[in-house]
């Protein structure tokens, strides 16, 4: 029923007001400014055009790979900015600039609001801006947004107050909203939805607030809830035997705050699950499925078809929310099989085999950063036994590496089919001394982590360490690391992207640099200092035959917290957190026209 006006090119003045409540006259709908928007189909999401970026990692398999190759190792030195837009937000910018048919959609959040921008991807002209205020009593944990999802002529994003929002792609008009969960109970949301065949599939944050994690699917059409699968089984459900005590499962956490990946051939979703709640594992005996696991889900029903737990009875805040990427890899006998690869927060690079029925089996686990917590790993099952003195507990000190922020936190790894390498943004040499305080009492919506009095969580550098941040490349054929680029004075919180031009792009360091690496050798072949540290997911797209690289710069969230702690503890090596500029800018780069 939307009518395309005669072709307005200017955005509506000011932010779009949410629909008026309480009998006030309704604001007129925003004008259609993208009349020729290309509706997004299952085909587009499954086999995106080379120049589009319609899923969180571009393709369902999670590779973060662009097949564009105008920008190469040979010419990338000439890469230059073509446009920049200030987002108006000063919190962490983590979302990929996603592109459909020449239009970019990119999201941000602050402690008080969220927004989505539609932008003409080649010029940087803002076509529409949607803003949604948050309730004033909303807590401020992790104020970020990680991107949008697409279906037909709609855009979907998760508002931090646990509301799923559908927008008209052509105008930014709000079409429907649905309450995913109650933010007052500690649930919040910031992930990009996974869209499969008209279903908008989301997860939740809240692992530090005593939630019970879930993955849920809503109809793209009207927001109707189609299924909801909890990551913590209720008594009697499969896996409930790993929660032998009373009511602990009700507040066991297992959040799901990063978008899952999808195998369209076997119709199976792979979703990562976060830490246990409260943090100290001895307050919830048992392995605690499906905390710190990957689960396989049926997109039709949400049924759990398989799982692999990376470490039992988590006691480290090692969310394993990053979904494993789907690639072929050699099994134990050297035969090539469909696999899953996950660079875990627990410091292990996991290689798993995925079966057509959803079952997941262990192939191998190789530490990719210094670790001291593994006493043994079962060669058949991959089950890990904890080394003495490493696992923290209630009144029990655990001294462990990698740190509670992990060998890698949420920033996604990337894969290039051209090199057959997996690229990891790693934090080497960091460790934690952690002790739980008193038993934590559950209060709805409140922090539910270590307890107070006698609790402790120190971040420290391993003895003899000369750096933290790294970009690593691992050869899938051999299971060996082939190159490492080290950052002597910074951690690395930079999501990675690979391209067919033989490049790996990423930022993540405290010097606000955005870099391109030679995918084969690890040599830095281009770098540029942006306005702020880059923790955004980079993307690449094409308009009128020209390849662009895009990324949001905007330092914040846990990258900033880690930097602040390192700067305070090691002032000779790491600068004070306050010296790193903040404020969000979307950047687009391309080669000069005369190239």
Ligand X SMILES: O=C(O)c1cc(C(=O)O)c2c(n1)C(=O)C(=O)c1cc(C(=O)O)[nH]c1-2
Contacting positions for Ca ion (CB under 5 A): 207, 275, 319
Binding piece for ligand X, criterion CB under 6 A, among 206-214, 216-224, 457-465, 494-502: 206-214
Shortest reach from residue 404's CB to Ca ion, in Å: 9
| Structure tokens that stand for 121 in this block | 């991807």
Q: Is 78 annotated as a binding residue?
A: no
Q: Is 399 annotated as a binding residue?
A: no
Q: In whole angstroms, how far apart are CA 384 and each of 23, 283, 364, 378, 400? A: 59, 20, 12, 6, 15
Q: Is 208 annotated as a binding residue?
A: yes
Question: Binding string to ligand X for residues 252 to 271, with x set by CB under 6 A, is what?
Answer: ---x-x--------------
How far is C-alpha 416 from the chain's CA centre? 19
Question: Binding string to ligand X for residues 111 to 130, with x set by CB under 6 A, is what?
Answer: --------------------
Q: Could you please report the per-residue DSSP string of 328-391?
A: EEE-TTS-EEEEEEEE-TTSEEEEEEE-TTS-EEEEEEEESS----EEEE-TTT-PEEEPTTTS
Binds 257: which of ligand X, Ca ion, none (CB < 5-8 Å by kind): ligand X
Q: Is 146 annotated as a binding residue?
A: yes
Of the candidate residues 90, 144, 498, 532, the single one contacting ligand X (CB under 6 A): 144
Query: Residue 319 interacts with ligand X (CB under 6 A)?
Result: yes
Rounded-to-integer distance, Cα 555 and Cα 566, Å: 15
For residue 547, give the nearest of 105, 76, 95 by alpha carbon: 76
Q: Which of 314, 317, 409, 518 is catalytic?
A: 317
> Which distant-in-sequence residues (6+ apart) come within 8 Å of 151 by Cβ?
40, 195, 198, 200, 220
Choice between 541 and 555, CB closer to ligand X: 555
Sign of CA dihedral 293, 297, 303, 304: negative
- Near ligand X in 76-105, by CB under 6 A: 92, 94
Shortest reach from residue 94's CB to ligand X, in Å: 6
DSSP 27: P
Query: Residue 205 interacts with ligand X (CB under 6 A)?
Result: yes
Q: 271 has which bridge partners? A: 295
Query: Residue 183 interacts with ligand X (CB under 6 A)?
Result: no
Can you tell me whether residue 311 is helix, strand or coil?
coil
Of the candidate residues 11, 48, 102, 207, the single one contacting ligand X (CB under 6 A): 207
Choice between 294 and 525, CB closer to Ca ion: 294
Query: Residue 206 interacts with ligand X (CB under 6 A)?
Result: yes
Shortest reach from residue 347's CB to ligand X, in Å: 14
Binds 558: which of ligand X, Ca ion, none (CB < 5-8 Å by kind): ligand X
As separate numbers, helices (DSSP H) first and strands (DSSP E) second, the chain gives 2, 38
Cβ pair 192, 232 in contact under 8 A:
no
Cβ pair 208, 449 in contact under 8 A:
yes
Q: Is 94 annotated as a binding residue?
A: yes
Choice between 102 and 411, CB closer to ligand X: 411
Catalytic (active site) residue 317:
yes
Cβ pair 532, 582 in contact under 8 A:
yes
Binds 190: which of ligand X, Ca ion, none (CB < 5-8 Å by kind): ligand X
Sheet holding 348-354, edge to edge: 325-330, 336-343, 348-354, 360-367
The alpha carbons of the chain give a radius of gyration, in whole angstroms, of 23
Can you tell me whether residue 51 is helix, strand or coil?
coil
Choice between 92 and 407, CB closer to ligand X: 92
Residue nearest ligand X (C-beta atom):
207
Binding piece for ligand X, criterion CB under 6 A, among 20-28, 216-224, 262-270, 402-410: 402-410
Sign of CA dihedral 44, 49, 50, 53: negative
Shortest reach from residue 203's CB to ligand X, in Å: 9
Query: Residue 290 interacts with ligand X (CB under 6 A)?
Result: no
Q: Could you please report the per-residue DSSP string of 453-504?
A: SS-EEEEEEPTT----EEEEEEETTTTEEEEEEEETT-------EEETTTEE
Binding piece for ligand X, criterion CB under 6 A, among 150-158, 233-241, 512-520, 552-560: 552-560
Q: In whole angstroms, how far apart are CA 303 and each of 77, 214, 233, 340, 358? A: 49, 12, 12, 19, 10
Of the candidate residues 52, 181, 314, 409, the single one contacting ligand X (CB under 6 A): 409
Cβ pair 406, 377 in contact under 8 A:
no
Binds 542: which of ligand X, Ca ion, none (CB < 5-8 Å by kind): none
Question: Binding string to ligand X for residues 555 to 574, with x set by CB under 6 A, is what?
Answer: --xxx---------------
- Residue 85 has a CB neighbour count (10 Å cut-off) of 19
Taking the chain, what is the end-to-end CA distance rounded to the nearest angstrom?
45
- Residue 356 has a CB neighbour count (10 Å cut-off) of 11
Binds 151: which of ligand X, Ca ion, none (CB < 5-8 Å by kind): none
Q: How many residues bind ligand X (CB under 6 A)?
A: 21
Choice between 64 and 278, CB closer to ligand X: 278
Backbone angles phi, psi at 288, to 5 degrees: 65, 55
Shortest reach from residue 439's CB to ligand X, in Å: 20
Binding piece for ligand X, criterion CB under 6 A, among 201-209, 297-305, 475-483, 514-522: 201-209
Choice between 132 and 160, CB closer to ligand X: 160
State the catalytic residues.
Answer: 317
Binding annotation for pyrroloquinoline quinone: 94, 146
List residues binding ligand X (CB under 6 A).
Answer: 92, 94, 142, 144, 190, 205-208, 255, 257, 274-275, 317, 319, 405, 409-410, 557-559
């Amino acid at each position: 029923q939307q009518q395309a006006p005669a072709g307005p090119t200017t955005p509506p003045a000011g932010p779009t007001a949410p629909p008026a409540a309480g009998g006030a006259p309704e604001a007129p709908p925003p004008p259609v400014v993208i009349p020729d928007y290309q509706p997004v189909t299952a085909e587009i999401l499954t086999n995106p055009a080379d120049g589009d970026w319609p899923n969180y990692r571009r393709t369902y398999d999670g590779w973060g790979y662009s097949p564009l190759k105008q920008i190469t190792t040979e010419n990338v030195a000439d890469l230059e900015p073509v446009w920049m837009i200030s987002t108006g937000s000063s919190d962490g910018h983590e979302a990929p600039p996603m592109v459909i048919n020449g239009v970019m959609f990119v999201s941000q959040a602050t402690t008080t609001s969220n927004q989505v921008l539609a932008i003409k991807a080649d010029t940087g002209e803002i076509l529409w801006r949607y803003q949604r205020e948050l309730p004033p009593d909303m807590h401020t944990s992790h104020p970020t947004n990680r991107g949008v999802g697409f279906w037909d002529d709609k855009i979907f994003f998760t508002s931090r107050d646990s509301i799923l929002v559908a927008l008209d792609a052509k105008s930014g008009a709000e079409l429907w909203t649905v309450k995913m969960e109650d933010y007052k109970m500690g649930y919040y949301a910031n992930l990009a939805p996974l869209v499969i065949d008209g279903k908008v599939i989301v997860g939740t944050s809240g692992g530090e607030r005593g939630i019970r994690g879930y993955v849920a699917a809503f109809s793209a059409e009207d927001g109707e809830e189609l299924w909801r699968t909890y990551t913590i089984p209720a008594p009697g459900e499969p896996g409930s035997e790993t929660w032998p005590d009373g009511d602990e499962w009700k507040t066991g956490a297992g959040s799901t705050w990063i978008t899952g990946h999808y195998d369209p051939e076997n119709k199976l979703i792979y979703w990562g699950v976060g830490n246990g709640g409260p943090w100290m594992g001895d307050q919830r005996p048992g392995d605690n499925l499906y905390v710190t696991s990957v689960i396989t889900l049926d997109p039709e029903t949400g049924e759990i078809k398989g799982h692999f737990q990376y470490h039992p009875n988590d006691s480290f805040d090692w969310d394993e929310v990053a979904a494993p990427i789907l690639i072929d890899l050699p099994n134990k006998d050297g035969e090539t099989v469909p696999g899953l690869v996950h660079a875990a927060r627990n410091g292990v690079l996991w290689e798993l085999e995925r079966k057509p029925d959803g079952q997941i089996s262990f192939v191998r686990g190789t530490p990719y950063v210094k670790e001291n917590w593994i006493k043994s790993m079962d060669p058949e099952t991959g089950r890990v036994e904890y080394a003495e003195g490493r696992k923290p507990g209630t009144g029990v000190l655990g001294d462990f590496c990698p740190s509670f922020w992990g060998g890698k936190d949420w920033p996604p790894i990337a894969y290039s089919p051209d090199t057959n390498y997996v690229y990891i943004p790693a934090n080497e040499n960091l460790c934690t001394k952690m002790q739980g305080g008193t038993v934590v009492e559950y209060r709805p919506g409140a922090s539910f982590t270590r307890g107070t009095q006698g609790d402790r969580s120190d971040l420290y550098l391993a003895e003899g360490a000369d750096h933290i941040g790294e970009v690593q490349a691992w050869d899938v054929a051999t299971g060996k690391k082939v190159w490492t680029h080290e950052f002597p004075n910074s951690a690395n919180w930079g999501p990675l992207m690979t391209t067919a031009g033989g490049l790996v792009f990423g930022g993540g360091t405290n010097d606000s640099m955005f870099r391109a690496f030679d995918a084969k050798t690890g040599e830095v072949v281009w770098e540029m200092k942006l306005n702020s540290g880059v923790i955004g997911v980079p993307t690449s797209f094409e308009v009128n035959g020209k390849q662009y690289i895009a990324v949001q710069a905007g330092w914040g969230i846990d990258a900033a917290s880690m930097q602040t702690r390192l700067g305070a503890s090691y002032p000779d090596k790491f600068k004070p957190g306050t010296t790193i500029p903040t404020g969000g800018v979307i950047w687009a780069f391309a080669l000069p026209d005369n190239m």
